[in-house]
Amino acid sequence: MDGAEPFERDLDLAVVLSDGRETSETVEEALESEFESVREMAAASCHISQQSLTQCLSSDDLTVRRSAASNPTITPQQSLYVLLNEEAQEVRTALLLNWHCPSSLLGRVLRGTNDFSTQDRYCAALNLSTPIADISEAIYDPVRRVSEAALLHPLIEVDDETTLTLVKSA
């Protein structure tokens, strides 16, 4: 896409990204776009390099950080970085609802009553990658929103008001 005017280049990149035809080269080029939506699509791409994904996670641009946190290629180290350093709840939520967030980290968030926000714990309870043992414990969580989210897990079945059954082993 060399030689095109910046607007035309960014428009071409947006089309390539939205069609799913991107390569690692077009993703890297799109990360330099003047348009937030193009950078956002690039940060969410499976073709992004790990180095660029790490840079996106520390970007000044909130939407780029949110997209990077939901990227399916996020590593356990990058996930931990987000939990330890990110203050924006929408970025934390994107990570904790990402099925590629490490299950051990999700369990840690769900068990960490004082270390994490109710929203963090709620999202971890909703994520199907959270260990079933942690979900089972969260059913009895004193925070109603967290316990209700745990009850929604498809491997948990409520037989009656007092009996909970693990439907199948995860």
Domain assignments of the chain as residue spans, ordered by start = 1-85, 102-170
At residue 170 the predicted structure's pLDDT band, cuts being 50, 70 and 90, is very low
pLDDT averaged over the chain? Answer: 90
Q: What is the pTM of this model?
A: 0.85
* pLDDT for residue 166: 62
Cβ atoms 141, 124 nearer than 8 A: no
At residue 5 the predicted structure's pLDDT band, cuts being 50, 70 and 90, is confident
pLDDT digits (tens, 9 = 90+) for 14-57: 898 888 888 899 899 999 999 999 999 999 999 999 999 999 99
pLDDT digits (tens, 9 = 90+) for 109-147: 999 877 899 999 999 999 999 999 999 999 999 999 999
List the alpha helices (DSSP H) in the chain. Answer: 6-19, 24-30, 36-44, 50-57, 62-69, 76-85, 89-96, 103-111, 118-126, 132-138, 144-151
Cβ atoms 43, 64 nearer than 8 A: yes
Q: What is the dihedral of CA 4, 7, 10, 14, to 10 degrees?
A: -120
